[in-house]
């Protein structure tokens, strides 16, 4: 007997469904949608707009139906639902199988297991992602704990050294009597406590030297034991963030020598793991001869391109950079486009000539503590500095996006006079522009008409390398669902990611962070 797909059957197979007519007027909703959105009712027109992974017309049903899986935006609630669309006579069936985690804090929007089709593997993927997020969060916590323990141990060590140095002064300053470790010496030497310094010195004789030496040796042994306990930080971090684990977590992939003398690390799309990476790298910090710059080398395993994370510390040195984000950036730039640094701790111990392309200082901790992240390239000869747009001139941005809605949104949000947009709809058009003109940054849609954004990014880097141009920041735009599943290695050319649907705040924040100036 054939299965008759009535609403009762549909509700059991796909409880989170929506049915609309071709005008997007809701005709009926499944039980899960009713539970999650009790105010949704038949007859309502709730969809302000929808979008899909492929650029299609906003309300063009014919083109819409060419894409099986899509993301719909519920305008009234700002809710994003992902699912499969099915055309049935004059109706559209939208079978929901994903709601972003960010919405789950609102109980009203929470989809649960029952809301998924039993045959839908999306649920397993969703759970796996949640586990990965939790593991990453816990790993970050662990690294923070270990860093704090290390700091505490170092502080304790300093106190211990101060203490023993005070003890020695006390011991050999008779006017101050015997105290602290002196009592230990008394005990070790079998001297009756409570005597005078003179008694103590007389009775202990030369033995006091031996005992003091033993005490100090013990102290050093305890200090070394603490260090032994804490030094495995890198080992622990390596185990916790092993390449295999992180690939599963779609995070950072890296290999890192425990002794810090070499290794490679690919940041990839590790936005969520930035804190982890910083913690890792702090293990291998070394101050340079400039006095205010600390370098962390992050070697992307792709030809000569390096991505460096640089930390600037104000140390009171007259050569230190001025305060403030722009100041730090300016100071770095003033230091020359070509600087010579010794990379140590992380990366290979080799001198590189690095050329700054941008420096975005992000306040972290205190106003005097600036953190900068920049892309650099290993010098293989003279390189033409990338022409930086003067601060009083609009930023030149290349936007490669075939989606009309996104394009209009970006144009509306990044209007003159601060930004001059050049828009390309295709990879070929973008590459032509990129070859001919300098840009301060590029925003690439992951899904362009004739090429995906990652491929375009790689080609842009090739152009920069061939032309001896310094790399400009590249930002990839896509839905979080897609970004979550990008291959880490494939994102080596990308500086940042912008999640769609695009929000004004995210757009301007990311732009400011990659170009190093407010927009």
Partner 1 sequence: MYGLIHRAVRQMATDRLGAEQWRVLSRAADVHDDDMISAKVYSDETTMRLIGAVSAELDVPMEDMLEQFGQYWVRFAGESAYAPMLDLAGSNLLDCLFNLDRLHSGIKLTLPDAELPSFSVLDHGRGYVNVRYSSVRVGLEPFVKGLLAGLLARFDLVGSVVAIGPSDLGIVFHVVFES
Sites of contact with partner 1 (CB under 8 A) = 101, 104, 110-114, 123-128, 130-135, 137-139, 142, 145-146, 149, 229, 232, 235-236, 239-240, 245, 248-249
Backbone angles phi, psi at 296, to 5 degrees: -125, 125
Q: Which is nearer to partner 1, 251 or 516 (CB)?
A: 251
Q: Give Cα separations from 371 to 42, 294, 309, 313, 318 (angstroms).
A: 53, 10, 8, 8, 19
Q: Which is nearer to partner 1, 123 or 178 (CB)?
A: 123
Q: Which is nearer to partner 1, 130 or 214 (CB)?
A: 130
Least distance between partner 1 and beta carbon 478 (Å): 22
Q: Which is nearer to partner 1, 253 or 460 (CB)?
A: 253
Q: Are 441 and 460 in contact (CB under 8 A)?
A: no
User: How open is the CA angle 485-491-493, to the nearest 5 degrees?
Assistant: 165
Least distance between partner 1 and beta carbon 105 (Å): 9
Least distance between partner 1 and beta carbon 219 (Å): 20
CA 325/CA 313 separation, integer angstroms: 12
* DSSP symbol at 162: H
Backbone angles phi, psi at 405, to 5 degrees: -65, -45
Q: Are 36 and 111 in contact (CB under 8 A)?
A: yes
CA 297/CA 351 separation, integer angstroms: 11
Least distance between partner 1 and beta carbon 146 (Å): 6
Q: Which is nearer to partner 1, 249 or 496 (CB)?
A: 249
Q: Which is nearer to partner 1, 139 or 170 (CB)?
A: 139
Q: Which is nearer to partner 1, 236 or 482 (CB)?
A: 236
Q: Which is nearer to partner 1, 14 or 50 (CB)?
A: 14
Q: Which is nearer to partner 1, 101 or 221 (CB)?
A: 101
Least distance between partner 1 and beta carbon 481 (Å): 15
Question: Among positive and negative, which fits the CA dihedral 488, 261, 258, 153?
Answer: negative
Q: Which is nearer to partner 1, 245 or 353 (CB)?
A: 245
Q: Which is nearer to partner 1, 146 or 405 (CB)?
A: 146
Least distance between partner 1 and beta carbon 272 (Å): 12
Least distance between partner 1 and beta carbon 500 (Å): 22
Nearest residue to 508 via CA among 430, 431, 395, 400: 395
Backbone angles phi, psi at 313, to 5 degrees: -120, 125
Least distance between partner 1 and beta carbon 232 (Å): 6
CA 39/CA 42 separation, integer angstroms: 10
Least distance between partner 1 and beta carbon 109 (Å): 12
Least distance between partner 1 and beta carbon 454 (Å): 24
Strand ranges, E, within 194-304: 253-256, 263-266, 293-298
CA 73/CA 64 separation, integer angstroms: 14
Least distance between partner 1 and beta carbon 32 (Å): 12
3-state secondary structure 85-109: EEEECCEEEEEEEECCHHHCCCHHH
Q: Which is nearer to partner 1, 235 or 350 (CB)?
A: 235
Q: What is the per-residue burial (b if ≥16 Cβ within 10 Å, else e) of 268-301?
A: bbbebbebbbbbbbbbbeeebebebbbbbbbbbe
Least distance between partner 1 and beta carbon 273 (Å): 13
Half-sphere exposure of 174 (CA within 13 A, CB side): 8
CA 81/CA 72 separation, integer angstroms: 5
Q: Give Cα separations from 206 to 185, 189, 337, 481 (angstroms).
A: 12, 11, 62, 74
On the 0-12 / 13-18 / 19+ scale of CB atoms within 10 A, 102 is: exposed
Q: What is the per-residue burial (b if ≥16 Cβ within 10 Å, else e) of 390-403?
A: eeeebbbbbbbbbb
Q: Give Cα separations from 416 to 61, 129, 413 (angstroms).
A: 35, 40, 9
Paired strand residues for 312: 293, 370
């Amino acid at each position: 007997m054939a299965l008759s797909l009535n609403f009762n059957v549909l509700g059991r197979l796909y409880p989170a469904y929506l049915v609309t007519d071709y005008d997007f007027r809701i005709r009926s909703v499944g039980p899960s949608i009713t539970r999650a959105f009790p105010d949704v009712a038949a007859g309502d027109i709730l969809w302000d707009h929808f979008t899909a992974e492929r650029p299609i017309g906003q309300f063009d049903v014919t083109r819409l139906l060419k894409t099986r899986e899509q993301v719909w935006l519920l305008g009234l609630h700002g809710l994003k639902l992902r699912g499969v669309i099915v055309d049935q006579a004059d109706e559209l069936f939208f079978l929901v199988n994903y709601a972003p985690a960010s919405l789950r804090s609102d109980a009203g929007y929470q989809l649960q297991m029952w809301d998924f089709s039993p045959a839908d593997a999306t649920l397993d993927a969703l759970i796996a992602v949640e586990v990965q997020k939790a593991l990453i969060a816990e790993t970050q916590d662990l690294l923070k704990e270990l860093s704090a323990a290390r700091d505490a141990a170092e502080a304790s060590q300093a106190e211990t050294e101060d203490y023993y140095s005070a003890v020695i002064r006390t011991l050999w300053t008779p006017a101050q009597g015997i105290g602290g470790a002196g009592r230990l010496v008394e005990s070790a030497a079998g001297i009756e406590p409570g005597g005078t310094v003179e008694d103590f010195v007389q009775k202990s004789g030369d033995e006091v030297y031996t005992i003091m030496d033993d005490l100090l040796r013990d102290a050093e042994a305890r200090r070394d034991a603490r260090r032994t306990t804490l030094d495995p930080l890198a080992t622990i971090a390596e185990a916790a963030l092993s390449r295999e684990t992180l690939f599963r977590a779609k995070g950072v992939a890296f290999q890192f020598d425990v002794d810090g003398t070499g290794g490679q690390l690919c940041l990839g799309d590790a936005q969520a793991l930035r804190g982890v990476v910083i913690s890792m790298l702090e293990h291998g910090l070394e101050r340079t001869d400039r006095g205010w710059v600390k370098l962390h080398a992050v070697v992307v395993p792709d030809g000569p391109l390096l991505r460096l994370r640089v930390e600037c510390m104000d140390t009171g040195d007259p050569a230190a950079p001025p305060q403030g984000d722009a100041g730090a950036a300016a100071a770095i730039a003033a230091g020359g486009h070509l600087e010579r640094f010794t990379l140590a701790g992380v990366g290979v111990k080799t001198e590189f000539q690095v050329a700054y392309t941008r420096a975005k200082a992000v306040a972290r901790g205190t106003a005097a503590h600036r953190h900068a992240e920049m892309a650099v390239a290993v010098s293989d000869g003279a390189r033409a500095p990338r022409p930086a747009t003067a601060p009083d001139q609009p930023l030149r941005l290349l936007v490669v996006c075939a989606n009309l809605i996104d394009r209009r949104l970006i144009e509306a949000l990044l209007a003159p006079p601060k930004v001059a947009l050049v828009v390309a709809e295709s990879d070929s058009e973008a590459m032509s522009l990129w070859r001919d003109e300098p840009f301060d940054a590029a925003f690439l849609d992951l899904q362009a008409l004739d090429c995906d954004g990652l491929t375009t990014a790689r080609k842009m880097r090739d152009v920069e390398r061939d032309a001896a141009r310094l790399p400009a920041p590249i930002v990839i735009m896509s839905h979080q669902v897609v970004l979550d599943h990008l291959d880490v290695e494939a994102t080596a050319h990308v500086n940042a990611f912008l999640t769609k649907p695009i929000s004004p705040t995210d757009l301007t924040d990311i732009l400011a962070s990659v170009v190093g100036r407010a927009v």
